[in-house]
Structure 1
Amino acid sequence: MRIAEIRSIPGPNIYIYKPVIVMRLHLEELTEKESIEFPGFIERLLEALPGVHNHHCAKGKPGGFIERLYGGTYFGHIVEHVCLELTEYAGFPAHFGKTLYAGGPGIYDVIVENKAEEATKFLLQVAVKFVEALLHGYEYPLYEAIEKAKRIACESELGPSTRAIVEAAGQRGIPVYRLNHDSLVQLGTGCYAKRIQATITEQSSCIAVDIASNKELTKTLLERAAIPVPAGGIARSEEEAMRIFASLQAAVVVKPLSGSQGKGVSTQLETTSDVRRAFQIAQQYGNETVVEQFYPGRNYRLLLVNSKLIAGSERIPAHVIGDGIHSIGQLVEIVNEQPERGVDHEKPLTKIMIDPVVVSYLTKHGRRLQDIPKAGEIVYLRESANLSTGGIAIDVTDEIHPEIRKMAERAARVIGLDVCGIDLVAEDITKSIDCQSIAIIEVNAAPGIRMHHFPSIGEKRDVAGAVVDALFPKGTPARIPTVSITGTNGKTTTTRMIGHVMQNVTGKTVGMTTTDGIYINGERIAKGDTTGPRSARIVLEDPSVEIAVLETARGGIVRSGLGYDWADVAVLTNISPDHIGQDGIEEIEDLVHIKSLVAERVRSGGTVILNAEDPNLTALAKRLKQQTIVYFSLDKDHPVVKRHLSIGGTCFYKDGDWLVEASGSVQWKIMHAGEIPVTMYGLAQFHIANGLAAAAACRAQGITREKIAQALGTFSNNPGRANFYKVNKGYVLVDYGHNPDSFKAICKMAGQLQGRRITGVVGVPGDRSNAIVEASARVAAEGFHKLLIKEDIDTRGRERGEIASILFEVVQQFVPYRECKVIYNECEALDTAIREMIPGELVVIFYEKLQPVKQVLENWKAVQVESLEDVSPIETVSASQV
């Protein structure tokens, strides 16, 4: 087997609404081979992975996959289930898998739910190699592969603090975007977005973080505020450390000035030799070392958000409990096997590492790793109580004395941290400050919160929720309004219309994605076809954007899913068989399935706007139970419109020359269709339909009919969509149509210009099926008086001349008397059509690239037509001319 590609889809997609990994797998020599054809294979698989007995598969119950194995199933399907089982063993179980035919013999897409992106990609590769090993009967190091997957997940996935905040945001319905491979994450969209990195938030003061990172400065500021801190100083040499130790005349703590997670910390040092040794350890983590007074007592971590105490934990240093049999070193190994312990921060607790601090601590207390403690004896391994060094936490939030609570909250305000971890040593946190020895020993920026979410003893505290609530107080929005537009034809114009209205009426900054670029506040910031999820994310991640209007195309949905989780409004203009034969699309129902994702991902209570004249879309409406359905139509008497109005629904339709909104039996005129400039005074019916859809979307966002009419009345900038130019002896119409329906719409519009010869410069993209090409040719042959057939520069996998030949042959067969010739080059074909014009003739070109076509028009000194009067009939075309 051969892996051709592995890609991740981070958002809702055509397979499932959750993130997935897609692997394109070529079975090669295993093509059409089934599991039962290889003696012993099934038995070896079940022996190695007994958990697959529980896989449901298509049966919907445990054992379904086993039935498929013994009944005979292809190896792509087997790889899928092996990977699913391996994710279980690796600690990030995936529950969704699917294997689909990918358009060629032995080629399949294996889709697996993505719980840990890099690790899941790795396990997909392992699954392929492991299945091959089982087939050929050789050993495969599966255990080592699973352990490697665990390490990959640990290194590449979000840490526990960031993950907890992300989960808390998800519970509150706040969208999340991971911005890098570390822990930088965006919560919310557009102008409402907030960024976090672990527990550093967008609201964290840079100065406060710097202060907290400098232990000596932190102590100075707290001491100035009359908050108790240990006496001491900073040593840059061993001699300085010894002088500070001597001046304190008490037990000391030695730790790196810029250290974290308890690394390099030695406590309760009472002799010069201990201090020297501790200084050497601390120097491994930085040149500056803190030597300060040791405070006896219990070690506490207090967690504050916006200077309010949210949680408190007593931290117990790493330790083991003797059993009278095993040595201290062996007991550490046993403790580390506990399922809740992992490497670094991957689990609620961290494995205990034996380092020089542990050895020094044991030596100081007369112990060795080889010693065997008595049964029940507690052996501490270090003085510092960080979870990062193997300690545990006991929740004490409800026991904290009010005076200590107030002192901690004042300390957080003094340092200025919005999310603050305070390390406190006290004899008893339930007692007042005056009756005990107490001191704040550190203030931490980016404090870990897993001890509060997963205490070894006591109640869990939702610190992550408190952080999210601080970023998004109750009633504060986290999402910008989002409108998503899809369909086969008309989606670009509809998108532009909606963006134009939103921008002009609200005065807010609109972020818009279209087939010609990304626009922020009316300025194009990126060129090209930007209708995929990456472009949507650019808009949604931009902090200036207040409204998102997203053209959402089929290709992006298939390859990479949606770039958002939910939209407020969706518009589906129409669905026609334009892309049959692409991306595994075999019939119109496949296109409906793909584009329906846009409708399905409209939030509950949001609005889905559908073309009443498209039966595929009216059928889709029956599946949308949580959204409001609104229809638009050029036919006010369409049965779907009448039925929807009869039940009190809302529709937008054309009544005579008017765009009308109706709800139940009540009607409101919005504007005259001819007042929208791009409709050429109502000539372009398809643009009227686009205007109806746009009006419906804007009404769903609360814009008044009067404001919509005013804005649409100024919508004239629609490059590449039914643009008229006066040139030479006649006119040129430029349009992006590239399928039968778009050809038909343009021909219908041009046909209303009575008495003119209409010439079509036509071509069809090479990735369309022969059936689509042939249907396009028949429409063009019937709709134009004269044809020039051209071909795209990008043949999209076809042989040069193949598409042009099909078009020409169909035209000759369907309308043999039609004047028709082939000129492969698009610009040359247009130039020829203009040169051969008769007076008043209209040339229609369906372009591949707009800019070269505009250059030809400039060469002919063409002038864009802004008024229907400019394209009114000039003379009657004689029969010989037609």
Structure 2
Amino acid sequence: MIIKDIRVYRGRNIYCHRPVVKMIVDTGDYDIPTKDIPGFNERLIKTIPSLNKHCCSYGYEGGFLKRLDEGTYLPHVTEHIILEIQNILGYDVKYGKARLIEGHLYNVIFEYELEECAIRSAKLAVKMVNKFISGEDFDFEQELEQIRKVVVEVELGPSTMALKKAAEEASIPVTRVGNGSILRLGYGRYQKMIEGTITQNTSCIAVDIACDKILTKNIIKEYGLPVPEGDVAYNENDAIAIAEEIGYPVVVKPFNGNQGKGVFLNLLNKEELIVAYRNAKNISDLVIVERHIKGKNYRVLVVGDRVVAVSERIPARVLSDGIHTIRELVEIENRNPLRGVGHEKPLTKINIDNISQFVLKKQGYQIDDIPPKGVYVYFRESANLSTGGTAIDRTKEIHPDNIEIAVRAAKAIGLDIAGIDITMENISMPLNRSNGAIIEVNAAPGIRMHHYPSKGKSRDVAKAIVNMLYPKGSKATIPIISVTGTNGKTTTVRMISQILKMYGYTVGMTSTDGIYVDDVCIYKGDNSGPKSARTCLADKNIDAAVLETARGGIVREGLGYDLADVGIITNISEDHLGIDGIETLEDLAFVKSLVVEAVKKDGYSVLNADDPMTPYISKRAKGKIIYFSMHENNITIKRHLEEGGISVYVKNDTIVIANGEIVPVAKIDEIPATLNGKVLYNVENAMAAIAASYGIKIPVNVISKGIKSFYCDENHNPGRFNIFNVGSFRVLVDYGHNIDSIRKVIESARKLNPNRLLGVIGVPGDRSDSSTLKIGEICGEGFDKVYIKEDLDLRGRKPGEIAKLLEIGVLKGGLSKEDVNVILKEVDALKTAMYEAQPGDLIVIFYEKYAPVVDVINNFIKISQFDIDESKERA
């Protein structure tokens, strides 16, 4: 079996509303049930016995084994292997399916949580299947361990993962930025960045202060809070002098260390001091020597102006059973499933190193000794989880005075989130200079000790942090309107943007011609896919996002956002059929329905009540539905209104909103984009825009003003029914590229009463032969003369192939050969049409590239004006 392609869907998609991977495999000569491959099923179950828990289509444990016995195919088996590998690695994924594409090609689709893990699991599954086909041995555990090592490096740590889940539970969109610990919460103006427990609100200078332990101590001391005596040692002699001045026992720690690295406590004499100093010196050029404070080690977590969790931290240790050596006890403890490498799991594995040996020696042990039963053996004196320590929740026990002290310490440094390390005998007693001190203030405190204490209640610190960033009643995201459909998408998003700008919003808009922020194009070209949506939503300046969401992007990658406030489907008609497995209008409607499936519960799906595919789409739509229609008596509209729904429709040549009462918005002839009602499809687009704006609570008077100020010109709607006056004739520029759009443009152009209607026509090369022929036929019926051109991007066609099909269609439509001119280059075809135009003619060009076409028109206008001026001068 061979992998032909792997495609990752990071957002909601047509297969699942969770992230999935689609892998295309070629089964080759093994497109047969696995039970017919000698020894395959036996090797599979022996290697991964946990597959016996898979329910498969039978819905009960063991269902998959039954499928194996009955006979199932390699892609289906591969799907289950991939899911189980991820399960074994700790990911709760269940969704998967395998489907035949054609011949021996199959789609294998499966859910994932970590992209890197998913792709490696897929490749491992295929490798395993091929080994079983060949009857070869396979070291599954070794392969699995290789993936596990990679996962540890790229997975979010427990603290960051807790923050991610807390935000998601609060319905705040979360985006991981890069492969580190940076998360973007929310969209647009209300987004906030967080890295671990450092938020975008955390002061840089506060972090710098916290990293300078001496400066931190001095500031806290100025606030009248207790700190241990001590100073910075620049060399070994300094360290000895400081220790002798303040008196033993002392503490040695790196000046700018973290996670307890190089920290030595309770040093009783000069010899121990020198060993500790030299170890600390390996971590930092400067070393701190300070008085040792007797007592327990407490971490007090401050979020905003509250203490949200308190933990007593216990240094890395094991309890002797009187049987095993210290080395063996560590090996046993490290097999604890809660322990992992680094921040991989709630607890970190205990590491035996030079510091551990030093601490053991102070206790009178060596690594291969067997201590008395019931004795705790310590490997660190500092109590950090990152060095193998554990934690006990003490949140309910902290004295109110200590809460005030911790909050004051955080504010003294200027931190919004701070871990205050306090050493004292009992956190339930007031802290003063005689019974304890503040040892450190941490600017990026880990929170896994609070979420996963070894003993006591788990504290949802992540939720407290998210609530601080987004207090109750505050916004985390901006209004999002997503627009799809066969035709009218670009015009509709532009109309909506115009309305929202009229309301005072800074609007982010994606469309087929670029990404715009407040009318400024930040990216040119087709930007109607998920990457463009993510780029737009990441902009901190925008108050609302209007996203053109094209079929291609949905099929290739899914959606670039989580949920929209409004999802719009303008219409469904024949276009792109035969591409990406979309063969029928139902297939196309299924794909585009994703936009209205991904709508908030209190949001709206805006649907065209006049479109035949709407009954199918409405069953999939989420939120409430707003229907729009050209006809007041549309049966869907009438029933919807009877049921208390909202509708937008045309009544007495006026677009109205019906929501309990009928509210007029604008007369059709007041909307410039309709050209006094001649461009009927722009009436439909206007209704969709009005419905969407109403759905996000834009006042009706603003909607009316916005739609009345939208024109079909180069400024408001470039490339969509733009009319240029070129001396004695006109040129209409439009992006019509499918049967329905071309037919409607021709119908609207006829209403402009031209002397002759000339067409410069072309069709993208990826359209079917039948669709191309039909477009040619429509043009042959609608135009008086036709100039056939081809796109520069032939999309797999041979030069002249599309032109020939169009010519056949045009002749079938009724034009004679004398009225058909084939000029393959777009600008040359337009130039010829303009030179041959007669007074009163209207040329319609369905362009591929907008800018070159407009340049040709403007140059022709300049030349014509020059000729006119020259004639006047001669006269």
The answer to whether the aligner puts 1:365 opposite 2:363 as a matched pair is yes
| d(CA) in 1 for partners of 2:524, 2:754 | 39
| d(CA) in 2 for partners of 1:618, 1:469 | 41
Deviations 1:204-231 (Å, cap 9, x if unpaired)? 1111111111111111111111211111
Match of 1:408 among 406, 416, 420: 406
The 3 A distance-change label for structure 1 pair 647 and 94 is closer
Any conservation in 2 of the 1:645–1:662 contact (CA below 8 Å)?
A: yes
Question: Which one-letter code corresponds to 1:264 in the other structure?
Answer: G
- What residue is the counterpart of 2:91 in the other structure? 92
Three-state SS of the structure 2 residue aligned to 1:615 is coil
- What residue is the counterpart of 1:514 in the other structure? 511
The answer to whether the aligner puts 1:549 opposite 2:549 as a matched pair is no
Q: By how many angstroms is 1:554 displaced?
A: 1.0
Three-state SS of the structure 2 residue aligned to 1:191 is helix
Any conservation in 1 of the 2:303–2:464 contact (CA below 8 Å)?
A: yes
Any conservation in 2 of the 1:727–1:862 contact (CA below 8 Å)?
A: no
Q: By how many angstroms is 1:109 displaced?
A: 2.9
The answer to whether the aligner puts 1:634 opposite 2:633 as a matched pair is no
- What residue is the counterpart of 1:820 in the other structure? 820
Q: How does 1:753-764 map to 2 (within 5 A)?
A: 753-754=752-753, 756-764=755-763
Q: How does 1:245-324 map to 2 (within 5 A)?
A: 245-324=243-322
Q: By how many angstroms is 1:65 displaced?
A: 2.8
Any conservation in 2 of the 1:727–1:863 contact (CA below 8 Å)?
A: no
Question: Which one-letter code corresponds to 1:41 in the other structure?
Answer: F
The answer to whether the aligner puts 1:704 opposite 2:699 as a matched pair is yes
Deviations 1:316-336 (Å, cap 9, x if unpaired)? 111111122211001101000
Q: How does 1:110-509 map to 2 (within 5 A)?
A: 110-434=108-432, 437-504=435-502, 506-509=503-506
Q: By how many angstroms is 1:456 displaced?
A: 0.6
Q: Which moved more, 1:493-502 or 1:787-796?
A: 787-796
Count of residues paired in the alignment: 859
Deviations 1:39-72 (Å, cap 9, x if unpaired)? 1111111111122222233333333333333343
| d(CA) in 2 for partners of 1:728, 1:789 | 24
Any conservation in 1 of the 2:419–2:441 contact (CA below 8 Å)?
A: yes
Q: By how many angstroms is 1:3 displaced?
A: 2.6
Question: Which one-letter code corresponds to 1:412 in the other structure?
Answer: A
The 3 A distance-change label for structure 1 pair 827 and 459 is same
Three-state SS of the structure 1 residue aligned to 2:201 is coil
Q: By how many angstroms is 1:247 displaced?
A: 1.6
The 3 A distance-change label for structure 1 pair 704 and 96 is same
Match of 1:663 among 636, 659, 665: 659
Any conservation in 1 of the 2:785–2:815 contact (CA below 8 Å)?
A: no
| d(CA) in 1 for partners of 2:643, 2:707 | 29
- What residue is the counterpart of 2:586 in the other structure? 589
User: Normalising by structure 2, what TM-score?
Assistant: 0.95
Three-state SS of the structure 2 residue aligned to 1:120 is helix
The 3 A distance-change label for structure 1 pair 74 and 840 is farther
Any conservation in 1 of the 2:784–2:815 contact (CA below 8 Å)?
A: no
Q: By how many angstroms is 1:620 displaced?
A: 1.9
Deviations 1:362-407 (Å, cap 9, x if unpaired)? 1122101101123322212221111111111000111112222221
Any conservation in 2 of the 1:199–1:446 contact (CA below 8 Å)?
A: yes
Q: By how many angstroms is 1:615 displaced?
A: 2.2
Question: Which one-letter code corresponds to 1:609 in the other structure?
Answer: V
Any conservation in 2 of the 1:726–1:862 contact (CA below 8 Å)?
A: no
| d(CA) in 1 for partners of 2:754, 2:343 | 78
The 3 A distance-change label for structure 1 pair 774 and 532 is same
Please report the RMSD computed on the Cα atoms of aligned residues, expressed in angstroms: 1.8
Match of 1:651 among 647, 654, 672: 647
| d(CA) in 2 for partners of 1:598, 1:688 | 22
Q: Which moved more, 1:223-232 or 1:429-438?
A: 429-438
Identity of aligned residues (%): 46
Q: By how many angstroms is 1:755 displaced?
A: 5.8
Any conservation in 2 of the 1:728–1:834 contact (CA below 8 Å)?
A: no
Q: By how many angstroms is 1:642 displaced?
A: 2.2
| d(CA) in 2 for partners of 1:61, 1:734 | 60
Three-state SS of the structure 2 residue aligned to 1:168 is helix
| d(CA) in 2 for partners of 1:772, 1:522 | 36
Q: Which moved more, 1:809-818 or 1:236-245?
A: 809-818
Q: By how many angstroms is 1:305 displaced?
A: 0.5
Question: Which one-letter code corresponds to 2:667 in the other structure?
Answer: H
- What residue is the counterpart of 1:877 in the other structure? none
Any conservation in 2 of the 1:200–1:446 contact (CA below 8 Å)?
A: yes
Question: Which one-letter code corresponds to 1:752 in the other structure?
Answer: K
| d(CA) in 1 for partners of 2:726, 2:564 | 43
Q: By how many angstroms is 1:816 displaced?
A: 6.1
- What residue is the counterpart of 1:69 in the other structure? 68
- What residue is the counterpart of 2:688 in the other structure? 693
The 3 A distance-change label for structure 1 pair 832 and 14 is same
Q: By how many angstroms is 1:814 displaced?
A: 4.7
Three-state SS of the structure 1 residue aligned to 2:693 is helix
The 3 A distance-change label for structure 1 pair 520 and 235 is same
Three-state SS of the structure 2 residue aligned to 1:285 is coil
Deviations 1:635-672 (Å, cap 9, x if unpaired)? 222222222223232221223432222235x4232212
Q: Which ranges in structure 2 are unaligned for 5 or more consecutive residues?
A: 865-875
- What residue is the counterpart of 1:776 in the other structure? 775
| d(CA) in 1 for partners of 2:642, 2:223 | 72
User: Normalising by structure 1, what TM-score?
Assistant: 0.95
| d(CA) in 2 for partners of 1:321, 1:691 | 74
- What residue is the counterpart of 1:875 in the other structure? none
Three-state SS of the structure 2 residue aligned to 1:720 is coil
Q: By how many angstroms is 1:753 displaced?
A: 3.5
Three-state SS of the structure 1 residue aligned to 2:282 is helix
- What residue is the counterpart of 1:539 in the other structure? 536
| d(CA) in 1 for partners of 2:382, 2:699 | 65
| d(CA) in 2 for partners of 1:785, 1:483 | 41
- What residue is the counterpart of 1:869 in the other structure? none
The answer to whether the aligner puts 1:680 opposite 2:675 as a matched pair is yes
Any conservation in 2 of the 1:725–1:863 contact (CA below 8 Å)?
A: no
The 3 A distance-change label for structure 1 pair 377 and 29 is same
Three-state SS of the structure 1 residue aligned to 2:845 is strand
Question: Which one-letter code corresponds to 1:628 in the other structure?
Answer: K
| d(CA) in 2 for partners of 1:8, 1:253 | 52
Deviations 1:601-633 (Å, cap 9, x if unpaired)? 111121111101112123322343x52211111
Q: By how many angstroms is 1:110 displaced?
A: 2.2
The 3 A distance-change label for structure 1 pair 194 and 755 is closer
| d(CA) in 2 for partners of 1:283, 1:611 | 72
| d(CA) in 2 for partners of 1:828, 1:73 | 58
Q: By how many angstroms is 1:480 displaced?
A: 0.7
Deviations 1:710-757 (Å, cap 9, x if unpaired)? 222211221000111122542211110110000111111122234632
- What residue is the counterpart of 1:878 in the other structure? none
Question: Which one-letter code corresponds to 1:6 in the other structure?
Answer: I
Q: By how many angstroms is 1:436 displaced?
A: 5.1
Any conservation in 2 of the 1:91–1:150 contact (CA below 8 Å)?
A: no
Q: By how many angstroms is 1:768 displaced?
A: 1.8
Q: Which ranges in structure 1 are unaligned for 5 or more consecutive residues?
A: 865-882
| d(CA) in 1 for partners of 2:797, 2:79 | 33
Q: By how many angstroms is 1:263 displaced?
A: 1.1
Any conservation in 1 of the 2:590–2:617 contact (CA below 8 Å)?
A: no
Question: Which one-letter code corresponds to 2:811 in the other structure?
Answer: Q
Q: By how many angstroms is 1:434 displaced?
A: 4.7
Question: Which one-letter code corresponds to 1:812 in the other structure?
Answer: L
Deviations 1:577-597 (Å, cap 9, x if unpaired)? 211111221222221111111
Q: By how many angstroms is 1:29 displaced?
A: 4.3
| d(CA) in 2 for partners of 1:863, 1:600 | 53
| d(CA) in 1 for partners of 2:425, 2:659 | 71
| d(CA) in 1 for partners of 2:100, 2:750 | 44
